[in-house]
Amino acid sequence: MTTRPSRRTMIGLLGTASACGLVPGLAVPAAAGDGSGPVPPGLAPGGELDQYVADAAAQDEFSGSLLLTHRGRTVLARSYGMADRGRAVPNGPDTLFALASVTKLFTAVAVAQLAQLGKIAYGATLGSYLDGFPASVADHVSVHHLLTHTSGLGDFHALPGYEAAAAGWTTPEQTMRGITDLVRRSEPRSAPGTEWLYSNSGYHLLGAVVEEVTGVSYYDYVRRHVFAAAGMTRTRFLTRPEWEAGRNIAHPYHRDAQGRWTDAVAQARYVVGDAAGDAFTTCADLDRFGRHLWRHRLLEPGTTALLLSGKIPLVQAATVPGDGTGVPARPDYQCYGPIGSLVAGRWSFQHGGGSTLGVSTAIEMYPESDWNAVILSNYEGTVVQSISNLIRKLITAG
The answer, yes or no, to whether residue 3 has pLDDT greater than 80, is no
Is 311 in a helix, a strand, or coil? coil
The pLDDT, as a whole number, for residue 242 is 94
- Structure-model confidence comparison of residues 380 and 321, the more confident one: 380
91-122 pLDDT, tens digit each: 999 999 999 999 999 999 999 999 999 999 99
What sign does the CA torsion over 137, 139, 140, 146 have?
positive
Helix axes 283-294, 104-116, angle to 10 degrees: 30
Q: CATH assignment of 41-396?
A: 3.40.710.10
Q: How confident is the model at residue 398 (pLDDT cuts 50, 70, 90)?
A: low
Q: How confident is the model at residue 133 (pLDDT cuts 50, 70, 90)?
A: very high
The pLDDT, as a whole number, for residue 327 is 58
Q: How far apart are CA 160 and CA 265, in angstroms?
A: 22
Q: Taking the domains of the chain in order of start, what are their residue ranges?
A: 41-396
| Burial degree of 131 (CB within 10 A; 0-12, 13-18, 19+) | exposed
346-386 pLDDT, tens digit each: 899 999 999 888 999 999 999 999 999 999 999 988 999 99
For the chain, give the percent of residues with pLDDT over 70.
87
Q: How far apart are CA 330 and CA 9, in angstroms?
A: 15
Q: How confident is the model at residue 329 (pLDDT cuts 50, 70, 90)?
A: low
Catalytic, 101? Answer yes
Q: Do the bridges between strand 371-377 and strand 359-366 make them parallel or antiparallel, or are there none, so unpaired? A: antiparallel
The pLDDT, as a whole number, for residue 256 is 86
User: Residues 81, 379: contact at Cβ < 8 Å?
Assistant: yes
The pLDDT, as a whole number, for residue 120 is 98
Q: How far apart are CA 83 and CA 91, in angstroms?
A: 5
134-167 pLDDT, tens digit each: 999 999 999 999 999 999 999 999 999 999 999 9
3-class secondary structure per residue, 145-167: HHHCCCCCCCCHHHCCCHHHHHC
The pLDDT, as a whole number, for residue 310 is 95
Of the residues 101, 142, 341, 348, only one is catalytic, namely: 101
Q: How confident is the model at residue 272 (pLDDT cuts 50, 70, 90)?
A: very high
User: Residues 289, 104: contact at Cβ < 8 Å?
Assistant: no
Rounded to a whole number of angstroms, the CA Rg of the chain reads 20
User: Residues 154, 189: contact at Cβ < 8 Å?
Assistant: yes
The pLDDT, as a whole number, for residue 344 is 77
33-86 pLDDT, tens digit each: 444 468 999 999 999 999 999 999 999 999 999 999 999 999 999 999 999 999
Q: How confident is the model at residue 259 (pLDDT cuts 50, 70, 90)?
A: confident
217-232 pLDDT, tens digit each: 999 999 999 999 999 9
- Structure-model confidence comparison of residues 169 and 17, the more confident one: 169
| Burial degree of 69 (CB within 10 A; 0-12, 13-18, 19+) | buried
